[in-house]
Amino acid sequence: MRALMKTSAGPGLELTDAPMCEAGPDEVLIRVLRTGICGTDLHIDGWDPWASRVVRTPLILGHEFVGEVAATGPGVTGVRAGDIVSGEGHLVCGRCRNCMAGRRHLCIRTIGLGVNTDGAFAEYVVLPSSNVWAHREPIPLDVAAIFDPFGNAVHTALAFPVLNEDVLVTGAGPIGVMAGAIAKHAGARNVVVTDVSGYRLTLARTMGATVACDVGRADVGSVAAELGMSEGFDVGMEMSGNADALRNMISQMRSGGRIALLGLPAQDVPVDMATIVTRMLTLRGIYGREMYETWYAMSVLLEGGLDIAPVITHRYGYEQHADAFATARSGRCGKVVIDWTRPTGPGVL
């Protein structure tokens, strides 16, 4: 089968032939239709210090995907050949304290699809049946391909109640933009999204942000004042991993405010602990998706009219993978999708 692989240590990927995979007991063989490119994939492609420390080659990348069930192994129930499915990319042990308590998203032995084991940038992928999410309602394939990052956005956006609240989202990457749209859909009064990329701030406005603020040119505090916030933001969602963004967010929160943290900083971030303590702020780390409450929420949000399709801005065929990765790395894009049913695609949608 055709697969996009990291064949050896070092920058770059290779579209090559890989052995055909098969479904074992309690496993599902999926014919991949679309995949999304994640920041993790860019790290592995570029072979940065994190990738060189974590990844073992050869490896098939990819954990954002949608596909069609091709076959099921012995013992599989709940899905059958022909089903359209996405997959939870965190493979958990099922035996640790959190797994046994039903908190699988907190598994201490989590293995990442396309990071620690072969992933979905291929014509076929195999997953444990417990990691397969079947789409029971019609859904565009491009949207189904990005259920993984959509889940990150849902997990973050709904970590705290947002109904009638004023929300600050720092970082207008695709997940930040989706988180802002989810908060607005869930009843937030104002959603302010910040970044320095004009392209992505425009995308945030398209997705429903009340204000998309270029923090290189304007102060978030002045935006809050213009919107009539006398005490600060109620809920913060830090999506960028930028130290200045987090520190600024902390300074803009009202007393008792709550912050969900998804962005991963590259190094330690000093923060104003006195403000956190005296304003009694709550900070909660978010990683991945709750299994499978977040997945249920994703499906219900889409059924309820939330439209995340505008965040998908480019689609390439599998032979155009270099162009797809270059576009994703440029930042002048939303989500970039690779079509595994054809060698070339339209590029810009």
Contact 194, 246 (CB under 8 A): no
- With CA atoms as reference, report the closest residue to 93 among 74, 114, 103, 108: 108
Contact 34, 2 (CB under 8 A): no
The answer to whether the annotation marks 64 as part of a ligand binding site is: yes
Contact 198, 181 (CB under 8 A): no
Name the active-site residue from 35, 40, 110, 194.
40
- Per the annotation, the verdict on 40 as an active-site residue is yes
The answer to whether the annotation marks 63 as part of a ligand binding site is: yes
The answer to whether the annotation marks 283 as part of a ligand binding site is: no
The answer to whether the annotation marks 93 as part of a ligand binding site is: yes
The answer to whether the annotation marks 287 as part of a ligand binding site is: yes
Name the active-site residue from 7, 16, 35, 43.
43
The answer to whether the annotation marks 338 as part of a ligand binding site is: no
- Per the annotation, the verdict on 43 as an active-site residue is yes
The answer to whether the annotation marks 263 as part of a ligand binding site is: yes
The answer to whether the annotation marks 124 as part of a ligand binding site is: no
The answer to whether the annotation marks 175 as part of a ligand binding site is: yes
Annotated binding site for NAD(+): 175, 195, 200, 262-264, 286-287
Annotated binding site: 38, 63-64, 93, 96, 99, 107, 175, 195, 200, 262-264, 286-287
Residues belonging to the active site: 40, 43
Annotated binding site for Zn(2+): 38, 63-64, 93, 96, 99, 107
